[in-house]
Structure 1
Amino acid sequence: MTLPDGITELAPGKIASVVTYLEMTQRPEPRAVPDLPELSVQLHDAPSAEAYLNLYRLVGEEYLWFSRLMMEPSALEAHLASDSVEVWTVQKDGTDLGLLELEWMQDGACELSFLGLSPALTGGGVGRWLMEHALERAFKRPISRFFVHTCTLDSAPALAFYIRSGFVPYRRAVEIADDPRLTGLIPESCAPHVPLVRV
């Protein structure tokens, strides 16, 4: 369905965002990253749904990340245990503070499913450092393209960050969904920059 030009009114209880899809077809030249000896990136084979969602909430609640919260725990654990999925965490002093999830598709592409940092790690080049790790992992296999999407609910610098990292926008869409704060998936206190409009 194509949305008409102009303003489209949302029903109460709904949120909307503009989604930008980006891709690259070859590994860009590596970018300089800061030396971060206090941080490490750890691969987690088949993490539990509980551990994964705790980190997912830590890095994504303020941006209303909700897709993984809607999955049944058994389905999520099967996804995380798949040979086509890698889940990495950024650790500081043994605590998980950042998330990187990659998924290799049957068509030869690789998706950057999630890349996020807790507020304690934002700034200082940690995102660029983690992206270089993501690029290295994705292009270790013979892939046709590496792709990601972001939206206007994400952090303000996210889109520019992906473009600086070498991704090229190729499509946009409007996503409309139930506000996860009103369905109980996310606390109502999250994302105060997105006003609550109750049913």
Structure 2
Amino acid sequence: MSPGRVIFSWFGTDQAPADPPRPQPADLHLARADGDVDTYLAAYRAVGGPHGWSRRLTLTRDQLQAVLDRPGRRVLIARDAAGTVLGFVELDLAHGTPASPAAEIVHFGLAPAAQGRGWGGFLLDHVLRLAFDAGAGQVVLHTDTTDHPRAVGAYLKAGLRLLRVTTAEPDDWN
């Protein structure tokens, strides 16, 4: 593999979590921010900045608004009581087809200050349930070697299975 190439790992599941829902941590507050460009960008930067996320930052405001306004697009922001962004999820509930409904967790992560508290497990469980409750027959997501090193383990622990692995130049996925 040439220097700078990124390894992408795709995960998926066709089964909603079987265990009872994880309780929401008392100090973690979830809110939807569908279609709200400013809130989206603040959360995207807070969570993705340490990992070099840039995909959405290259879009104009109108282009990003168009993405966020797509049918089935959901944005969840996790905050503490002071309003500090702790986590971020972008979910595409219209990833599949009418014959094979699917959802994609497009972006998922925690801000550095929120890591190591079990909140990622809660957030992932919540989002998987949300997707299946909305009618998805499958949920997929990907991670890559620029993301948090514990991401793969968290996805496997949540019941997702590895579907495929690919490599690309860093700019190829933008």
The TM-score with structure 1 as length reference comes to: 0.77
Picking from 140, 148, 161, the partner of 1:155 is 148
Counterpart mapping for 1:1-150 below 5 A: 7-8=1-2, 10=3, 15-30=4-19, 33=22, 36-48=25-37, 50-93=38-81, 94-104=83-93, 105-107=95-97, 108-150=101-143
Q: What are the Cα deviations for residues 149-171 of structure 1, in whole angstroms up to 9, with x where unaligned?
A: 00111111111110111111111
Q: Does 1:167 align with 2:155?
A: no
Residue 106 of structure 1, CA deviation? 4.2
Structure whose residues are more often helix by fraction: 2
**Conserved in 2, the CA contact under 8 Å of 1:31 and 1:132?**
no
User: Could you tell me the TM-score, scaled by structure 2's length?
Assistant: 0.87
In the superposition, relative to structure 1, how do residues 177 and 136 fare at CA in structure 2: closer, same or farther (>3 Å)? same
Query: What is the identity percentage for the equivalent residue pairs of Structure 1 and Structure 2?
Result: 29
CA distance in 2, matches of 1:177, 1:148: 18
Q: Distance in 1 between matches of 2:164 and 2:96?
A: 21
Q: Secondary structure at the match of 2:170?
A: strand
Runs of 4+ in 1 over 3 A off after TM superposition: 31-35
Q: Does the aligned pair in 2 maintain the 1:47–1:81 contact within 8 Å? A: no
- What amino acid sits opposite 2:5 in the alignment? A
C-alpha distance in 2 between matches for 1:31 and 1:123: 22
The aligned amino acid for 2:63 is A
Shift of 1:119: 1.2
What's the Cα RMSD here? 1.9
Segments of structure 2 that go 5 or more residues without pairing to the other structure are: none
Question: Residues of 2 paired with 1:106 and 1:122: CA distance?
Answer: 31
The structure with the larger Rg is 1
Note if contact 2:96-2:103 (Cα within 8 Å) is conserved in structure 1: no
User: How many residues are treated as equivalent by the alignment?
Assistant: 167
